[in-house]
Amino acid sequence: MTETESQISKFLKYRKFLIGLFGLLIIASMASVPFLKFSFSFEQFFPQGDEDLAFFQEFIKDFETDDNFLMIAVENEPTVFDSVFLNKFSDFSKDCRVLPYVTSAQSLTDFKFPIKTPFGMSSIKAIHLDDANALKRDAEKIMSDERFVYNLISPDTTAMVVFLKTEDQLDIEPSIELMNSIKQLNMAYGFDEYHVLGRAYFQSELSHMQKREVIVSTLIGALLVGLILSFIFRKPIPILIAFGSIGVGLVTFFGLLSLLGRELNAIAAFYPVLMLIVGTSDVIHIMSKYMDELRLGKDNDAAIVTTIREIGMATLLTSVTTAVGFLSLLTSRLIPIQQFGINSAMGVVLAFICTILFTCSVLSLVPKEKILYERKREDVWSNTLSRINTFTKENARLITILSLIFLVVSAFGISKISTNYNIVNNLPKNSKITDDFKYFEEEFAGFRPFEFAVSLKEGYNVDDFNVVSQIDKFDDYLKSIPSIRTVSSISSIYKSINQMFGGNKREAYAFPNSEKKFDQYQKLASKLPNQLSNTLISKDGTKTRVSARIRDIGADAIKELGEDIDNWIEKNLDLSIMSIRRTGTGLIMDKNSVYVRENLVHGLGLGLIIISLLMGLLFKSFRILLISLVPNILPMIFAAALIGYTGIKLEAVISIVFALIFGIAVDDSIHFLSKYKLAIEKTKDKEKALEITFRETGKAICFTTIVLFFGFLVMLFSIHPPSIVIGTLISVTLLSAVVADLYVLPVLIRKWM
């Protein structure tokens, strides 16, 4: 008996103790799972270490954040200019002011036009709620005012908005509380059609989506795994052992996350799927080998010793390489992606530990007659795999040519990859939040903040005529851009005052045409409530902001537009008195498209190096190392080509596809090469070794691929579009991985080993 076999035999003495220990772990894990936390915030998706992020964090010290708003649009057909509706809406707007975490509420029913009278300043209501005869004049005036259309009223006059300002950076629990209060308030008023958009709404709804995703993927994934195990192992006992082992890994994984205080984010739905299929893959390799050894006449202990010696090390290496693949996500600048990589790596290692310690312990205690089943279809698998082996031997040249054609076709697809992703494509399918988002995109100014920070040069102040006139020029330019429907800046204050002095006529809403008039308006401007610190002007008066909202035209399109705006600023504004820089949550989140390719290259490159070193240590052959990498790079190339050809937008969340594929696809190559290495040492004949490898490991590879394919297809039941895309991409791509392992790898072995 070798030293390894001796150590395995010692391990078998403690199997009952290990089973009991796992029982205690399950109880502890199940007790801690209810305390798992879910998280969602826009700040999670800010790329760490970015200079624009650092600038934005300084910017919000002088001003409030740009996503601290919530819009509630209420519809009334055929028009909102109905006295009954307007009075009801006015009361609703006032009640919104006392909602939790709301700092202010604004609507057209509250708005007043300032007027100049012989007795001083006064104001008149924009809408005369109790004067039906005046409503027509009010409607004409409001609909001709750029401040209101797309902001507080829809252009077809069928909807009106209450614009709420909320406390900065609301977290999930306050957001849920606020949204529940809004639902209760709406129920009290009985509005038939209303739509909501804003940070609190996103956080509330998307946190509910995350919980739903984890529960659904766990239940459907477990059902699917049960069906696949029934097909593979046939008899109840091995099915229960396999399913139990996978369940132990899943429960202890979530228990570990809860114990460590890890929060589940937008891509948490992949955790149960990942644990189920990785655990199933490990169990299939271990149990298939164990059954083969039992069929050779060995007793339980001897069969377990051989299984752990021959398959255990390969399974350990596949677990480590898969974990390394996930840890390559640490190069991402996004915290949720980094956390996904760490958590997934822990899960993969935990699945291996459960398989080796729990599954092997239980298997060795069960009589072989309760495990083995009659193999009616063994000849089908053996014959099929034998024919594949023969095909690779006789058609090596054809396989090589097809592989080269595949690379050329894939290269063209990769060249078509776009990072022009939209917010709407990340929202839940067939949900109210998605419908509401689209509604505000069509009827109002949309959601995406589009901010500009204006910093004045020394010697200038925000309320200088030259400064405000330049800002007004910039304001008008932004309004001329079709995708921007609303702009707010300090110049609007002076336009409002000018309109007041012009009898509140529409054409009088313009910037004062002389410095003398501007100076006259300055004293009045200081008294208007719109000019608040942390809103438009910094406390020291050296900085101001221009706030806009832009339609969801795509990250790359917005980036291109931003560059055009920067060029316009350089050519048309006096930069000797000020500097203007794009900032805001929208810009920061869109920066992820800049880093996604960079992070992919760095992360996968690092993972490739580490995995190469690990495989070099296992096989002790540089040739095998190089050969093993080829069939694992091909699936990633295929995935990238699919993304290009199908028009899927490559974004930060979608980019985890490559880490998943690389981490999982390498497993089958390792099992194939490990078995070949053992077979060649025994037979000293390359063709016999390949035949044995195909017959024994080839079957397990096919089974695990079936598990992986259908396992990731579980994500088709997701309501989160990126999760559906990722699941489908991985399922299809892993089919290419098994083709590479069964067709390309044998050709490489015959040629180079």
Q: How far apart are CA 573 and CA 570, in angstroms?
A: 6
| Structural domain boundaries in the chain | 33-43+205-372+379-415+592-752, 66-204, 434-590
* pLDDT score at 532: 45
Structure tokens that stand for 753 in this block: 């080993």
What pTM was estimated for this model as a whole? 0.82
Specify whether the CB–CB gap between 279 and 245 falls below 8 A: yes
Q: How far apart are CA 377 and CA 387, in angstroms?
A: 16
Specify whether the CB–CB gap between 244 and 19 falls below 8 A: no
Q: What top-level class would CATH report for the domain 434-590?
A: alpha beta
* pLDDT score at 533: 43
Specify whether the CB–CB gap between 168 and 64 falls below 8 A: yes
Structure tokens that stand for 285 in this block: 């390799």
- CATH code matching the domain that covers 33-43+205-372+379-415+592-752, chosen among 3.40.50.970, 1.20.1640.10, 1.10.10.10, 3.30.2010.10: 1.20.1640.10
Q: What b/e string do you get for 497-509 counting C-beta neighbours within 10 Å, with b at 16 or more? A: bbbbbeebeeeeb
Q: How far apart are CA 105 and CA 69, in angstroms?
A: 10
**CB-based contacts of 435: which residues, under 8 Å, 6+ apart?**
195
DSSP per residue over 307-323, as a string? HIIIIIHHHHHHHHHHH
* pLDDT score at 109: 92
Amino acid at 245: S
DSSP per residue over 173-213, as a string? HHHHHHHHHHHHHHHHHT-SSEEEEEHHHHHHHHHHHHHHH
Q: What's the first-to-final CA gap in the chain, in angstroms?
A: 30
Q: Residue 416 in 3-state DSSP?
A: coil
Average pLDDT per 10 consecutive residues for the chain, totaling 753 residues: 60 80 89 81 76 87 85 93 92 95 92 72 80 85 89 94 90 90 93 90 86 86 84 82 88 90 79 85 84 84 83 81 82 83 91 88 83 64 84 91 92 87 85 93 91 92 91 94 91 86 83 88 68 67 91 89 94 94 87 70 68 69 76 84 88 77 77 83 87 83 82 85 87 87 89 77
Question: β-strands 120-125, 112-117: how paired?
Answer: antiparallel
Count how many Cα atoms sit within 13 Å of the Cα of residue 740 in the half-sphere of its side chain: 27
Specify whether the CB–CB gap between 645 and 747 falls below 8 A: no
Q: What are phi and psi of 674, to 5 degrees?
A: -65, -45
Size (the chain), residues: 753
DSSP state at residue 426: G
Specify whether the CB–CB gap between 202 and 70 falls below 8 A: no
Q: How far apart are CA 693 and CA 284, in angstroms?
A: 16
Q: What are phi and psi of 537, to 5 degrees?
A: -130, 135
Mean pLDDT, all residues of the chain = 85
Specify whether the CB–CB gap between 486 and 151 falls below 8 A: yes
Structure tokens that stand for 626 in this block: 């190089």
* pLDDT score at 530: 46
